[in-house]
């Protein structure tokens, strides 16, 4: 079996094998370890010595349970490490430091550092990581999905409403086990008890679900509380636990309850999809069915049921409903198998447990790797530096219209390469750990990719592929870490140097392309789309790359990242690519924004398809057909309903409206009137009724579930107006043959990062 050398800097210094989960034990004085040995899961106990880092040792003078205060060497504000007898003692000392300093522990610049995750502390201190000697397929994974019914007269389910209830709990695991606990055969208390019995019997390492934090587990917990049924899911027989949490993913903030199960991990594929989309921006939506189709795991014979019809199916066709629920669980298991392996691999490197790896940002993981090494060497830790200005990457649209053919050249890991080639690292990194980590991660990623290509074993290839993907995620996070305001080794000036070097390199590539007779179309941070020189042939790609790279700094490597039959350049960071097999990919918010109704995205795709395939004369016919379909009510409501995600609570929304800080929102008004408790991250689907193009949406909005096919009342003129708006955006391109420089003011070549 092909392996990668165990490097302590990356994988920790204690390679204790088979660790799969952890929990506090002995009143917070120890950690219980759950370890895989062959097919068995055994438990061990290891001592825990909770600690806190301090700028002033007097902060913990006379603190209860204080064991020792040891000095840390070298420069760094946090130069004392205090140790305590138990976890509760450490928490009490944290509260004491907060009161004495007037600053909570999670504020950058506080004169003390307390890590509130006891398992994170243990892994940091012990130099251990998870899953040593294991691969992803060694995990025992169980997916869970529930179906509920809503009391007649209400739009949304509410676990607090006595008339609502759970009618199915579908379970599927990696052994092939499939089962639905049926609400047509058991009352709700018995259903909840049976669900818990099966979870304990199947004994999974991981419980997976789609939106499991914000729906399934909240609902199960609330109904169990109502019926006084204990959800004893822990490996030690303990109850399901939860706490309020918040997660920032790109520009989105998701409020949820984090659930923990002793000895197991809870993984939410909805959150994994959100993180995936923040990097790729190519997911059609975050619903389970959309993702299953996108990733190709939806079975041809899977059962589909309109959610609004679940009560009827439960009454008239319960077997069909149970099949639907089972298919949901099976698809969740399959989606997790695609999205979760990089986090499994990260847990083999980063001192967080597996569940936390899926819920913590990449910059926090870099900080944890640096902190582990500094503490291992007994070195003082700096406080985060204040926020400073950082320039953005070079972005420019140079041509608009259709390019045929189009190539994409990019710099391999541009920012990491610049940091290594130019020795750019945080000024406060006295030990030089930052560049050492980056260099080692890059070496190991290259090694893992090579081993994955050479391995004849599919399981080994999958494991190494996940490992190299995990390394890639961490490598690309090093630049962002420099500008992370919570990073103890952050350095905004260093981040600015990196982007300045990046802009110079991309500018040099553009100059070389122009000198070679190529036509640059768009530049975006680390790469350029271009039409190759007229004399270029596909077999000469390597030679073309050499000519483009001539004169670039040492350590900067180019790769031809893509070859396309055509590219449609619409606006900055918004374009479409037609590959040589005829597959179309649309990139950018103007094409894929979830602020667009589904029919708008569909029209855009139909028009762009005609532009890139040389049928621009047929573009207007697309518009005419949609105008007619709306006129005769032939458009399904799922195509014109708008789905919005609530970004704040109803109370916060109301306060802002009263203060004049925001306009009235149809989504919030409908959610408020629904009678269901809502929270940030919930979604509302609605359509516009009435007549006329210029209606006030919030006054004529109706929940999508209320649309009646026998009496369709969507606002035909309003939606036809949106169809015509799309035509006005694309009319000029339907009349343009080829490329032209952008009309109007040129786009700024430098965008601010913050």
Higher pLDDT, 706 or 72: 72
Cβ atoms 532, 520 nearer than 8 A: no
pLDDT digits (tens, 9 = 90+) for 38-56: 999 999 999 999 999 999 9
pLDDT digits (tens, 9 = 90+) for 418-452: 999 999 999 999 999 999 999 999 888 888 888 88
Closest CA to 478 of 425, 555, 410, 554: 425
The answer to the question of residue 475 being in a domain is no
What percent of the chain lies above the pLDDT cut of 90? 73
pLDDT at 753 over 60: no
For residues 115-123, give the mean pLDDT. Answer: 97
CATH code (residue 185): 3.30.420.10
Among 360-364, 457-461, 546-550, name the one with the lowest average pLDDT.
Answer: 457-461
The answer to the question of residue 515 being in a domain is no
Closest CA to 338 of 294, 279, 286: 294
pLDDT value at position 161?
Answer: 83
The answer to the question of residue 400 being in a domain is no
Q: What is the mean pLDDT of the chain?
A: 91
pLDDT digits (tens, 9 = 90+) for 469-523: 888 889 989 999 999 999 999 999 999 999 999 999 999 999 999 999 999 999 9
CA distances from 660 to 508, 653, 654, 699 (A): 48, 11, 10, 18
Cβ atoms 395, 573 nearer than 8 A: yes
pLDDT at 465 over 80: yes
Which residues, in sequence order, are CB contacts of 201 under 8 Å at separation 6+? none
Which among 300, 319, 344 is the end of a domain?
A: 344
Which residues, in sequence order, are CB contacts of 498 under 8 Å at separation 6+? 415, 418, 419, 424, 479, 482
Residue 524's pLDDT band, with cuts at 50, 70 and 90, is: confident
Helices 458-482 & 433-454, crossing angle to 10 degrees? Answer: 160
How many domains does the structure of the chain reveal?
Answer: 2
Q: Which helix (H) or strand (E) holds 66?
A: strand 66-71
Residue 748's pLDDT band, with cuts at 50, 70 and 90, is: very low
pLDDT at 746 over 60: no
Among 112-121, 212-221, 454-463, 647-656, name the one with the lowest average pLDDT.
Answer: 454-463
pLDDT digits (tens, 9 = 90+) for 175-193: 999 999 999 999 999 999 9
The answer to the question of residue 142 being in a domain is yes
The answer to the question of residue 177 being in a domain is yes
pLDDT value at position 749?
Answer: 43
Strand order in the sheet with 19-25: 19-25, 30-37, 40-47
pLDDT at 331 over 90: yes
Residue 251's pLDDT band, with cuts at 50, 70 and 90, is: low
Residue 461's pLDDT band, with cuts at 50, 70 and 90, is: confident
Which among 298, 327, 344 is the end of a domain?
A: 344
Closest CA to 644 of 696, 705, 597, 604: 597
pLDDT at 136 over 90: yes
pLDDT at 343 over 70: yes
pLDDT at 752 over 70: no
pLDDT value at position 1?
Answer: 39
pTM of the entire structure?
0.87
Q: In a 3-state reduction of DSSP, which class is residue 411?
A: strand
Closest CA to 10 of 178, 132, 179: 132
pLDDT at 467 over 90: no
pLDDT value at position 751?
Answer: 36
pLDDT digits (tens, 9 = 90+) for 373-385: 999 999 999 999 9
pLDDT at 359 over 80: yes
For residues 132-153, give the mean pLDDT. Answer: 92
Which residues, in sequence order, are CB contacts of 335 under 8 Å at separation 6+? 210, 269, 272, 273, 288, 291, 292, 295, 297
For residues 315-328, give the mean pLDDT. Answer: 96
Enclosing domain of residue 291: 136-344
Give the strand pairing for 40-47 and 30-37: antiparallel
CATH code (residue 718): 1.10.132.60
Which residues pair with residue 43 across a beta bridge?
A: 34
The answer to the question of residue 290 being in a domain is yes
Q: Which helix (H) or strand (E) holds 246?
A: strand 241-249
Peptide bond into 405 cis (omega under 30): yes
Which residues, in sequence order, are CB contacts of 647 under 8 Å at separation 6+? 252, 253, 680
- Give the span between the Cα atoms of 355 and 205, in whole angstroms: 11
- Give the span between the Cα atoms of 412 and 414, in whole angstroms: 5
Quote the tokens at residue 367.
Answer: 């900080």
Which residues, in sequence order, are CB contacts of 369 under 8 Å at separation 6+? 10, 349, 350, 351, 433, 437, 474
- Give the span between the Cα atoms of 663 and 658, in whole angstroms: 9
Which among 312, 328, 344 is the end of a domain?
A: 344
The answer to the question of residue 497 being in a domain is no
Residue 4's pLDDT band, with cuts at 50, 70 and 90, is: low
Cβ atoms 388, 753 nearer than 8 A: no
The answer to the question of residue 391 being in a domain is no
Residue 745's pLDDT band, with cuts at 50, 70 and 90, is: very low
Cβ atoms 528, 520 nearer than 8 A: yes
First to last CA, the chain: 46
Give, as one character, the DSSP assignment of residue 738.
S
């Amino acid at each position: 079996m092909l392996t990668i050398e165990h490097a302590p800097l990356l994988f920790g210094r204690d390679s204790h094998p088979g660790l799969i989960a952890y929990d506090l034990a002995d009143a917070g004085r120890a950690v219980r370890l759950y370890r895989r040995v062959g097919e068995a899961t055994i438990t061990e106990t290891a001592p825990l010595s909770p600690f806190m880092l301090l700028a002033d040792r007097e902060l913990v003078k006379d603190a209860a349970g204080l064991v020792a205060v040891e000095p840390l060497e070298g420069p760094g504000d946090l130069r004392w490490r205090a140790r305590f007898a138990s976890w509760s003692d450490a928490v009490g000392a944290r509260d004491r430091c907060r009161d004495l300093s007037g600053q909570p522990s999670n504020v950058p610049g506080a004169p003390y550092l307390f890590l509130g995750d006891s398992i994170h502390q243990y892994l940091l201190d012990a130099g251990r990581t998870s899953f040593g000697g294991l691969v992803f397929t060694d995990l025992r994974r169980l997916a869970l999905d529930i179906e509920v019914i809503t009391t007649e007269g209400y739009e949304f389910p509410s676990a607090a409403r006595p008339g609502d209830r759970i009618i199915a709990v579908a379970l599927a695991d990696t052994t092939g086990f499939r089962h639905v606990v049926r609400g047509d055969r058991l009352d709700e208390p018995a259903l909840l008890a049976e669900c818990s019995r099966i979870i304990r019997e199947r004994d999974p390492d991981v419980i997976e679900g789609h939106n499991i934090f914000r729906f399934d587990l909240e609902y199960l917990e609330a109904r169990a509380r109502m019926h006084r049924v204990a959800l004893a899911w822990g490996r030690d027989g303990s109850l399901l636990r939860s706490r309020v949490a918040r997660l920032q993913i790109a520009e989105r903030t998701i409020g949820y309850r984090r659930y923990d199960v002793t000895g197991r991990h809870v993984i939410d594929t909805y959150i994994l999809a959100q993180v995936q989309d923040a990097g790729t921006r190519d997911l059609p939506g975050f619903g389970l069915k959309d993702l299953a189709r996108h990733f190709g795991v939806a079975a041809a014979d899977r059962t589909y049921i309109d959610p609004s019809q679940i009560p009827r199916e439960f009454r008239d066709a319960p077997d069909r409903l149970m099949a639907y629920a089972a298919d949901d669980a099976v698809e969740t298991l399959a989606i997790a198998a695609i999205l979760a392996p990089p986090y499994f691999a990260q847990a083999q490197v980063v001192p967080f447990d597996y569940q936390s790896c899926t819920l913590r940002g990449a910059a926090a993981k870099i900080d944890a790797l640096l902190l582990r090494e500094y503490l291992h060497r007994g070195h003082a830790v700096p406080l985060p530096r204040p926020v400073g200005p950082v320039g953005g990457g070079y972005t420019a649209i140079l041509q608009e219209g259709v390019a045929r053919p189009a190539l994409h050249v990019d710099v391999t890991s541009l920012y990491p390469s610049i940091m290594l080639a130019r020795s750019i690292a945080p000024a406060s990194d006295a030990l030089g750990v930052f560049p050492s980590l980056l260099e080692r991660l890059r070496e190991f990623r290259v090694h893992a990719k090579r081993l994955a290509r050479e391995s004849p074993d599919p399981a080994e290839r999958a494991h190494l592929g996940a490992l190299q993907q995990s390394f890639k995620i961490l490598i690309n996070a090093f630049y962002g870490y420099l500008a992370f305001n919570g990073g103890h080794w952050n350095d905004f000036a260093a981040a600015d140097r990196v982007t300045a070097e990046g802009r110079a390199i991309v500018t040099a590539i553009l100059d070389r392309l122009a000198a070679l007779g190529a036509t640059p179309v768009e530049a975006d941070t680390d790469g350029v789309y271009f039409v190759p020189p007229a004399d270029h042939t596909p077999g000469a790609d390597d030679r073309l790359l050499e000519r483009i790279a001539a004169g670039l700094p040492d350590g900067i490597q180019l790769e031809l990242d893509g070859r396309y039959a055509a590219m449609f350049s619409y606006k900055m960071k918004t374009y479409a690519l037609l590959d040589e097999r005829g597959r179309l990919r649309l990139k950018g918010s103007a094409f894929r924004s979830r602020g667009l109704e589904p029919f708008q995205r569909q029209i855009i795709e139909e028009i762009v398809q005609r532009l890139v395939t040389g049928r621009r004369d047929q573009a207007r016919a697309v518009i005419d057909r949609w105008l007619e379909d709306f006129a005769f009510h032939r458009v399904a409501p799922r195509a014109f309903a708008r789905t919005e995600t609530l970004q704040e609570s109803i109370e916060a929304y109301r306060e802002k409206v009263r203060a004049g800080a925001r306009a009235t929102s149809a989504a919030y008004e409908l959610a408020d009137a629904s009678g269901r408790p809502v929270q940030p991250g919930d979604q509302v689907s609605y359509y516009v009724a009435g007549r006329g193009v210029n209606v006030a949406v919030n006054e004529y909005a109706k929940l999508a579930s209320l649309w009646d096919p026998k009496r369709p009342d969507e606002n035909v003129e309003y939606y036809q107006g949106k169809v015509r708006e799309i035509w006005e955006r694309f009319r000029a391109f339907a009349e343009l043959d080829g490329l032209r420089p952008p009309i109007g003011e040129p786009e700024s070549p430098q965008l601010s990062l913050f």
